[in-house]
Copies of this chain bind each other. A is one copy, B any other.
């Protein structure tokens, strides 16, 4: 649940929001997001690895995160998914977004903790969640320090799960359950 600086640059046109306008909208409307769980898929279609980003938060803490970001005005959900995956994993990541629009779940991030497992202090965001196989070379971009691939066994370790912020460990567990791994 991050917006990088480039989001504001991209959106500087008249159709999009200034930072002030976005801040104002965030206090008034649920904001539409996408969450992507990047995976490596082996022969036979089994998931062999899960990709997590390492980020520095606004408070200087380090935490892990899924690929996540806003859907822009007049942008297709699928296009937003690809844009955020390429923004975080690099232009050579080759994400294979699912051909069907049905998300495997939705995550409701509330500014008030405890309403749902998901929390975002800045806003009420509703996120469409997808598992996305990536086939190319990934390199962390922007404000991500690192991209780490974890095996299905590693990723469910409590120490890894504990490093995910904003309740995204729940979303990752939902993805693991959906994948049957």
**In which size bucket is the chain A interface?**
35 or more
Q: How many copies of the polypeptide does the oligomer hold?
A: 4
Report A's interface with B, CB cutoff 8 A: 15-17, 21, 25, 27-32, 39, 41, 44-47, 71-79, 81-82, 96-106, 108, 110-112, 115-117, 124, 126, 128, 131, 133, 173-174, 176-180
Nearest-CB residue, chain B, relative to A175: B177
CB neighbours (8 Å) of A97 from chain B are 44-45
Closest-CB distance, A80 to chain B (whole angstroms):
9
Q: A101 to B78, alpha carbons, bound, how many Å?
A: 20
CB neighbours (8 Å) of A102 from chain B are 102-106, 178
CB neighbours (8 Å) of A17 from chain B are 28-29
